[in-house]
Amino acid sequence: MSEFALLTLLIGALSLIAIGIGGLVLSRNLFRIVLALSLAEAGANLLLVLVGFRRDAIAPIIEQGHALTATMVDPIPQAMVLTAIVIGVGVQALALSLAIRAYVAYGTLDMNVMRSRMETDISDAAGAQPATSQHAPAGGRPLPPISAPRLAHNKGAQG
């Protein structure tokens, strides 16, 4: 494989990381944030494998008939990537389930709205309204679907 191809892959991996992180920072939608995270992880994995690549080498599998002394690529980064991929999917599942629950409770996927609702809930729990404190937390009570005015009110309260 040529120098050019390696550089292309390097740029690809780094761009994937950059796109992922950029998307993660800029997205307000919870679902999109999860997607962006998995993009960035894919980029990081690619980077790791790229680091272990060795030119003119074969995959680290000893095939019958081949000499044991053949040059092979570095197996350790590959093992690390295997681990990292599985870790990534576990975290992704967890994040998705949290997003689902948060969506069910707050009726939105917008991070900013959710954050302000969360702040309100925390202050509520901190004693502003005894009724919504410890014994009846916001997650337990059926929330009405948020209508536009309510949202505006929330935004106003936040600002």
Partner 1 sequence: MAWADLIILIMVVLVLAGAGAALFLENLLGAAVATALVSLGVSVFFVILRAPDVALTEAAVGAGLSGLLLALAAKRLGLWRIEVQQDSEDAGDSSC
Partner 2 sequence: MNALDLLLSLSALMLLAAFLFGQTRVYPWLAGILFTGQLVLLAGSDLPMAAGVGLEIFGQQVGWQLDGFGRYFALITIGAALASNVYMGGEWGERYQADGHSLRWLHAALAGNVLAMLLLLSSKDLIAFFIGWELTSWAGFLLMAQGGERALRAALRYVPYAMGGAMAVLGGLVLTLSWTGTLDLLELSRVMSTLGNGQLALLLALFAIGFSIKMGLLPFHLWQAPAYAEAAGPGTAFLGAISARMGLFALGILLVKLMTLSRVADLAFIDGLFTARDLLAWVAALTIVLPTFTALKQNDARYLLAWHGIGQGGYMLLGIVMGDATGSAGGLLHVFNYATYQAALVLAVFAVMHRTGTADLNSLGGLVTRMPLTFLVMLLGIIGLAGLPPMNGFVSKWLVYRSLMVEGRPLLFLMTVIGTLGTILSVYKLIHNTFLGQLRAEHEHIREAPWSMTVPMLALVILAFVTGVAPGLALSWVAEAQAALGLPVLAYTLGGIESPRGSLDMLWIVGVLFAGFGIGALLFYGAGGRSKRVHQLDNYAGGHFLSADVRYHYSDHFYAGLMHRIGPLYRGSFTWLESAVASATDLAASLMQAWYRQAVPALTLLVAAVLGLGWMVWR
Partner 3 sequence: MLTRYGALLFAAGFAFLLFVLFTSQPLGAPTMLAGQAVLNEAAGTVGAANIVTAVVLAYRGIDTLGELSILFAAATAVGLVLGRSHGKQASGEATEPGGFILRAGSDLLFPLLLVVGFYIIVHGHLTPGGGFQGGVVLAAAFVLPVLARPSETVSHAAMAWVEGLAGTAFIATGLAALAVDHAFLAPLLGTGQLGALLSGGTLPLLYLAVGLKVGAELASLLLRMTEEESGT
Residues near partner 2 (CB under 8 A): 21, 24-25, 111-112, 115, 119
CB of 32 closer than 8 Å to CB of 90: no
3-state secondary structure of 59: coil
Q: Is 154 exposed, middle or buried (0-12, 13-18, 19+ CB in 10 A)?
A: middle
Residue 111 tokens read as 């991070």
Q: Which does 120 bind (CB under 5 to 8 A by kind): partner 1, partner 2, partner 3, none?
A: none
- Among residues 46 and 113, whose Cβ is nearest to partner 2? 113
Conformation bin of residue 116: beta by default, left when phi > 0, alpha when psi is -120 to 50 = alpha
Interaction site with partner 1 (CB under 8 A) = 1-2, 4-5, 8-9, 11-12, 15-16, 19-20, 22-23, 27, 29, 31-32, 34-36, 38-39, 42-43, 45-46, 49-50, 52-53, 57-61, 72-73, 78, 81-82, 85-86, 88-89, 92-93, 96-97, 99-100, 103-104, 106-110, 113, 145-148, 151
